[in-house]
Amino acid sequence: MLSAAIALTRPGGVVLYATCSPHLAETVGAVADALRRHPVHALDTRPLFEPVIAGLGEGPHVQLWPHRHGTDAMFAAALRRLT
């Protein structure tokens, strides 16, 4: 699904990949795979959440946890297509 979204995005466009999964293969693993396979660059998504949620880690993606953030397990990453 992420690969298809990247393929449909114009150069310079941004894909926001968000999932409610806590599984690494569906979160950071999927983004790492996209970074290896596609001409994309990861953007820091923390500024989108920091006004509301603190303690988001080192980025560039955001992983929210029930025990830490009082939310469902959610993940967000932004990828800018380069070419």
Residues catalogued as catalytic:
20
Backbone φ, ψ for residue 26 (5° rounding): -95, -5
Question: Would you tell me how many other CB atoms lie within 10 Å of the CB of residue 33?
Answer: 13
In three-state secondary structure terms, 57 is coil
In three-state secondary structure terms, 58 is coil
Question: Would you tell me how many other CB atoms lie within 10 Å of the CB of residue 65?
Answer: 14
Tokens of 7: 């393929």
